[in-house]
Every structure is written in C-alpha cells, then in structure tokens.
Amino acid sequence: MEMPSITPRFTALGEPYCLPVPARPLPAPQLLHLNATLADELGLGPAVTGSPQFLEWMAGNQAWPGYAAHASVYAGHQFGQFVPQLGDGRALLIAELNDLQKQPREIQLKGAGPTPYSRFADGRAVLRSSIREYLGSEAMHGLGIPTTRALALVGSPQPVRRETVETAAVVCRTAPSFVRFGHFEFYYYRGEHARLAPLADWVIDTHFPEFSGREDRYIAWLSEIIGRTARLMAQWQSVGFCHGVMNTDNFSILGLTLDYGPFGFMDAFASGHICNHTDEGGRYAWERQPVIGHWNCVKLLQATLPLLAETPEAALALAQPIADQYPAIYQQAMTKRWADKLGLRDHRDGDTDLIDGYLNLLDRSHADFSRSFRNLANLRTDTDALADGIRDEIIDIAAFDAWAENYRTRLRAEQSVDSERAQRMNAVNPKYVLRNYLAQNAIAAAEAGDMSEIGNLFAVLAQPFDEQPHHAHYAAEPPADARHIEVSCSS
C-alpha cells in the first residue's frame, strides 16, 4: 500500500506552538462517508482508503504512519471579548503531506478526544454537528469559496452528552494550514513577542514564498491576508452564507472559511438575519459580517505590531494603512459580485441603486435568497412579460415591476443578450445550497441508521450551479414546519 510521504512543517516548529497529543480511541468506528475525489487529490487511492488501517486513522485509533498527532494553542476574541487561551480543544493534526499538485496539506481530526486545551470538555464531536461540518465545507468548496475541506466522516455508538445524549463522530478535515488569527494573539497578549517572528516566517515561507526574505515581508503578507479576508466576506455575502461565530480564533491566516459550527445559508432573506441563536445581540448577523471581518483584521494587525517596527508608534504608522485597505477591497469585490449576480458585464453609475433596490425588495418580502437570484436569469429584455417564478417570492408586485423595468433598461444599455446573460448568471447564482432543513433531514436519517441522504446531498452540492433535474427538490424552499430550525454553538 503506497502512501504519500510525510512532510512535517507546522509540527517542526515544536513547542510551545504545538504539543504531541495522542488521539483517544473511538469504539466501534464506522466510515459513514468518504470524499473519494479529495482522497485522490491527496494521493490516497482506493488501496489506501479501502484498507482497514484507513478507518483506524480516521477514527483516531491508530497514528498515521510516521507521524505523531499534535494540538496547537491559540487565543481569540470571542463575541468581542478576549480569551487569553483557547487552542485545539477537540482537534488533532494527524498528518502533513503534499498533494498530487505538490501543495502542502494538513490532515486534522475533529472530535478525536481531549487535549491540554479542551478546558474541561470531552474533546468529542457529535454526529449532528459532524454531518453539518462535513457537508457544509464541501458545499462551500462546490461554490468556489475558499474553505477547509472534509475527507471522511466516521461515526461511533459511543454516547456523548450535549443538551441530550448523542452519539460520537469524527470529521477528518484538510487545509493547507489551520493557523488562525488567534495563534498570533496568543503570543502578543502574553507578552511573548519573540514567538511571533518564527510563526510569521513559517507562514510566509510555507504559504507565501513570494514574500520570503524580503525586508517588507510582514507588511506584504499582512496586506495579502487583509485582502483575502475582505474578498472572502464578499463571497459569503453573495451566497447568503452566515458563519455564526466570527471570533478571531475562527479566522484563517490563509483567508479560508474555517470552523463550521452554527453556520447557515439564508432561506428567506433578511439583512439582519442571525443564524446562531446563541448570538443574542446579533453581533454576527449577515449584514454585520463585513464589518466584523474588518474588526478581526484590525485585531490581527494589533497582534503583529511587534513584527513591523521597534516602537509601537512606528508599527502603528505602518499597520494603519494596511487596515485601511480593507473597506475599498471589500466594496470592490462586493460590487463585482452583485453585478455578476444580476448579469451585468460592467459597473456603471446607478448600478449600486439597482442592486440595493433588488435587495430591499427581497428584504421586505422575506423572499428566498437563492431562488430569487436564480429565477432572475429567466427575465427577458424583449418583452414586459415575466417568466414563471420570477415574482413568486415578492410581496410588493408593483414595486418589483418598476424595478424590473429599470433592470431591463440597464440590460439594454449594454446590449445584453438574454441567453448569454442567463448562462453567466446561472454560473454564479447557485440553484443548490445546504439549507438547514436539508442538513437536518440528513442528520435525522443518519441517526436512524440511514447514511444515504448524506451521500445524496454531498453529490448535489458538489455541482450547485447545474440544473440537476432529478434533484430539483433539493432547491425547494423549506416546508413550513422547518423554516425556523435553530442552530447554536453546540451545532
């Protein structure tokens, strides 16, 4: 059985950045689903993934050959309040390797038992939350949004107590790196500023080699991360994705979507939508996500000030222009996203009002976000007649018709061809997203012993922009009894 060679990178930093921690064995593990496409990308062919040892690795029952599992420490601002020590409380880095494209990949288990950073918790994950992360991360990948990815889902009959007694599960997830903003905050707020440079240089040398060795490497690297984060927020907004827990310890130093807890894709559009019922103040509501992204970037810059200059004043003078880049980068990315969703080839005066007008119509009607944008591709510029479905979500029909006429005028101004525009719009407006009720259906089936719905959803969400006529029911709005499914931090 040929295995990819192990290439320790992050663990080569050693203590105190990470500690060797063995996984706790999971009784009677069962491989519930395998991401065979991702396994192939990692060089883990059927001979590997079909072996008994693979299940043991994915459950944390055996160590990956030639590698000792590690957990890392970090801090973070959680709901705006600084927590000086967090860390991989239920996550273990079990392997570091290169994929078939020679790109670095870390392999991590979530739910493999307690670590020194578990804070009196059991280090386990439950089937419910594990299914949500497994499907959610791959749904984001299908949408083309930077994210960690899921390799395998393992279940076990072992009981785990949350609000009720549930069964245990482990998600194996991968990323080029799981380093977070909070890793830098940990050493900054402890006053261990000498620890910042080795970590930052490791990130730069491993993932941003174009900046390695430059005198201005920290400025260049931080500018890149601020830009990536701003563009990521625009991507989230454009598909109605709500993260739910945008703490600095959940923000990736590579600009990836990281940690799928109480996340959700909006059904009925509401600009103030809160997907996490634990977030009573609405700090992480949909409309606030871009602002919070900026706030988190400022916290990262604060934590890396000692890298920029010898005095705080000089460092702040360098950091402020980096932070100030965020709003313009976000606005440019968001304007482009909305224009693409409306099928506009370029941005012209008045387009912002056109975009805001449509969002206001959706907001006032609580219209289904995904379906409303998808259906808009059916509008024609050569007739006032509207195809079926376009107005179905709208309450104020007169206001919509007035907006639609302005939209047609704008399309005619750039000589838009309906068929070409529809094709462009359908390439950016997904027909399928992981709605909460779909995830809940898969969870309920799995808890009853039927894993088929996990596989069905996994396949559909891998091609979210395709029509997939045989799976059209997955694009339906939630039934009345499933419109108010709530998720919390335990999700």
Question: What distance in Å separates the CA atoms of residue 445 and residue 403, rounded to the nearest whole number?
Answer: 43
Rg (alpha carbons) of the chain, rounded to whole number: 23
SS3 of 267, please?
coil
- The 3-state DSSP class for residue 33 equals strand
The pairing of strands 104-110 and 91-98 is antiparallel
Let me know the angle formed at the C-alpha of 290 by 287 and 291, rounded to the nearest 5 degrees.
90
Q: Is 249 a catalytic residue?
A: yes
Name, in order, each residue with C-beta under 8 angstroms of 14's C-beta and a sequence gap of 6 or more: none
Joined together, the tokens standing for residue 178 give 């799981």
Q: Whose structure tokens read 């969002």? A: 359
Pairing of strands 165-175, 125-126: antiparallel
Catalytic residue among 40, 88, 216, 249: 249
- Among residues 2, 105, 112, 110, which one has the least CA distance to residue 51? 2
| Largest separation between any pair of C-alpha atoms in the chain | 68
Q: Is 332 exposed, middle or buried (0-12, 13-18, 19+ CB in 10 A)?
A: middle
Q: How many CB atoms lie within 10 A of CB 214?
A: 12
Instruction: Determine contact, residues 99/48, Cβ cutoff 8 Å.
Output: no
Which residue has tokens 């994705």?
241
Classify residue 241 by burial, with Cβ atoms within 10 Å: 0-12, 13-18, 19+: buried
Question: From CA 441, how far away is CA 456, in angstroms rounded?
Answer: 11
Which two structure tokens, joined as six digits, stand for 141?
A: 């990948």
Count of H helices and E strands in the chain? Answer: 16, 12
What is the C-alpha separation between 255 and 382, in angstroms, rounded?
A: 42
Catalytic annotation, residues? 249
